[in-house]
Amino acid sequence: MAAVISDVQALTFDVFGTVVDWRSGVIREGRALRPDVDWLPFADDWRRLYRPTLERVIRGELPWATFDELQRLMLDQVLADRHVEGLTEDEKASLSTVWRRLDPWPDAAPGLSRLKERFVVAALSNGSMWQLICLAKHGRLPWDAIISVELFHAYKPDPRVYLGAAELLQLRPEQVLMVAAHVYDLRAARSHGLRTAFVARPAEWGPDAAPERPDPGEFDLVADSFEDLAARLDA
Amino acid sequence: MAAVISDVQALTFDVFGTVVDWRSGVIREGRALRPDVDWLPFADDWRRLYRPTLERVIRGELPWATFDELQRLMLDQVLADRHVEGLTEDEKASLSTVWRRLDPWPDAAPGLSRLKERFVVAALSNGSMWQLICLAKHGRLPWDAIISVELFHAYKPDPRVYLGAAELLQLRPEQVLMVAAHVYDLRAARSHGLRTAFVARPAEWGPDAAPERPDPGEFDLVADSFEDLAARLDA
């Protein structure tokens, strides 16, 4: 195991994209609702609204709201932008909660089970507590703890999220390893003293999208899967 | 299943005394440290300081502190009251963290596993997040979520704890069933609209103590164990 992380006691995980495959889940539920709509770009547009919407909350332009509420706002925007009409209020309400019913990547639950034998494994996600609980039950994810940004009324990459998680775990930041498939998340975690592991999820945005690639050496670990991460951490 | 709780979606559990057996754990670690001390009354005195100490925090006489910190304060007080001398600083520090290493009652983990198939099962305890995570790992307790009062900077029976838990679970209070072996906890939960289940733990204070008994009919359910509770809830 890399010496730099020999002091790590807990692993905190980004969830949407890193643990669960949002794209295929959104497409599946969208198609079941309206087979005539092209849900591939719809899913991508919806997900792409995350960052700017959360940035508006971080800047104070939008009041604090749970991710469930923000995802409903974003859904309405994508429906309008893509001229998808005729969904009933119940259908929109149901579709907006698809983020609670996404399947994990195949290696996620087995990898977490291995890592859990050696470390505390915790979700650290922009999802609400309730979304993350539902996702864990749906995918049988064996979290030791779920730490939603809702506990801090802040969204990643706000420092309060990373430092607040370390505080709840009664650990110093360098004893916490942030695991994510997203460079922005890991860069923020690193800047606040956490250790970092990049797990590649090349299929996150579908087969035609360019996968995220970290700069060489910028994170403590790079892995292909949670099983690979467990092996690199001797778990 | 009782009609009154047909709408329940989540069960929240008191932990110290209800899920884990604090008395035998404190006695075991105390004896390993100092075989000459009578740890039975020591354990009871320590535990008995909970309520008055937490009441001081609730009244604002003590500033907010985690349960770990308060338990260390209480330990020092019991050591002084009972004239136990000669423990090193490391020994006191270690003993004060025994609350992270308590064994669950034998029916707790199997009962939670059954209940988890039908409901969200969450710890709702005065313990800190870290204590509750350690207890869950130690006893392999399959929580869906751990909700520490630390998230609210309040201690039970403060209303913020019960209502804050329901809010995090995105449920109405009557959709949440509070499970505890302590009447004071359930009375507070009930007064804020939660459903209530009393689980008897007659051995909590040892074989010679009078067990807690609720008034007939004051709680929605009364059970002998988590397995019994699961059966009563058709789980």
The beta-carbon neighbor of A170 closest among B130, B137, B145 is B130
Rounded CA gap, B166 and B174, in Å?
9
Distance (Å) from the C-alpha of residue B22 to the closest C-alpha of chain A?
21
Say how many Å lie between the first and final Cα of chain A, rounded: 10
- Cβ contact, residue pair A144, B137, below 8 Å: yes
Record the tokens describing residue A48, joined without a space. Answer: 């792409």
Is any Cβ of chain B less than 8 angstroms from the Cβ of A169? yes
- Cβ contact, residue pair A144, B136, below 8 Å: yes
Say how many Å lie between the first and final Cα of chain B, rounded: 10
Distance (Å) from the C-alpha of residue A214 to the closest C-alpha of chain B?
32
Strand order in the sheet with A145-148: A145-148, A120-125, A10-13, A176-180, A195-199, A221-223
The mean pLDDT of A119-125, rounded to a whole number, is 98
- Closest residue in B to A139 (Cα–Cα): B144
The beta-carbon neighbor of B129 closest among A128, A130, A168 is A168
pTM of this prediction exceeds 0.80: yes
Domain ranges for chain B, please list them: 3-21+103-232, 22-100
- Cβ contact, residue pair B136, A151, below 8 Å: no
- Closest residue in A to B170 (Cα–Cα): A130
**A199, A188 Cβ separation under 8 angstroms:** no
| CB-based burial label for B130 (10 Å; 0-12, 13-18, 19+) | buried
Beta bridge partners of B180: B198
What does the DSSP 8-state code read for residue A16?
A: B
CATH fold of A3-21+104-232: Rossmann fold (3.40.50)
Q: Please state the φ and ψ torsions of residue B159, each to the nearest 5 degrees.
A: -55, -30
- Cβ contact, residue pair A137, B128, below 8 Å: no
The ipTM assigned to this model is 0.94
**Selection from B173, B116, B178 nearest residue B145 by Cα:** B116
pLDDT at A169: 98
Mean pLDDT of chain A: 96
**B106, B139 Cβ separation under 8 angstroms:** no
- Residue A3 above 60 pLDDT? no
What does the DSSP 8-state code read for residue A144?
A: S
**B77, B56 Cβ separation under 8 angstroms:** no
Is any Cβ of chain B less than 8 angstroms from the Cβ of A230? no
Beta bridge partners of A130: none
- Cβ contact, residue pair A133, B146, below 8 Å: no
Record the tokens describing residue B235, joined without a space. Answer: 């789980």
Instruction: Choose, out of A66, A153, A168, the residue to mutate when testing the contact with B (most B CBs < 10 Å).
Output: A168
Q: What is the pLDDT of residues A78-97, one digit of tens each?
A: 999 999 999 999 999 999 99
pLDDT beneath 70, residues of chain B: 1-4
pLDDT at A151: 97
The mean pLDDT of A186-200, rounded to a whole number, is 98
Q: Which of A8-12, A130-134, B60-64 has the lowest mean pLDDT?
A: B60-64
Is any Cβ of chain A less than 8 angstroms from the Cβ of B169? yes
Q: How far is CA B46 from CA A101, A113, B23, B49, B228, in A?
A: 45, 36, 10, 5, 30
pLDDT at A2: 56
Asked: is B22-100 a CATH 1.10.150.240 domain? The reply is yes
- Cβ contact, residue pair A133, B120, below 8 Å: yes
Q: CB neighbours (10 Å) of residue A196? A: 24
Instruction: Choose, out of B67, B146, B153, the residue to mutate when testing the contact with A (most A CBs < 10 Å).
Output: B146
What top-level class would CATH report for the domain B3-21+103-232? alpha beta
Tell me the pLDDT band of A16, cut-offs 50, 70 and 90.
very high
Rounded CA gap, A224 and A107, in Å?
10
What does the DSSP 8-state code read for residue B126?
A: S
Spell out which residues of chain A touch residue B144, defining contact as CB-CB under 8 Å: 133, 136-137
pLDDT at B4: 58
Record the tokens describing residue B38, joined without a space. Answer: 């009578």
Is any Cβ of chain A less than 8 angstroms from the Cβ of B68? yes
What does the DSSP 8-state code read for residue A20?
A: B
In the chain, the amino acid numbered A89 is: E
Rounded CA gap, A176 and A164, in Å?
12
Is the backbone peptide bond immediately before B157 cis, with ω within 30 degrees of 0? yes
- Cβ contact, residue pair A130, B168, below 8 Å: yes
Spell out which residues of chain A touch residue B129, defining contact as CB-CB under 8 Å: 145, 168-170
Rounded CA gap, B132 and B136, in Å?
6
Rounded CA gap, B121 and B142, in Å?
8
By 3-state DSSP, what share of chain B in percent is helix, strand and coil, each rounded to 5?
Answer: 50, 15, 40
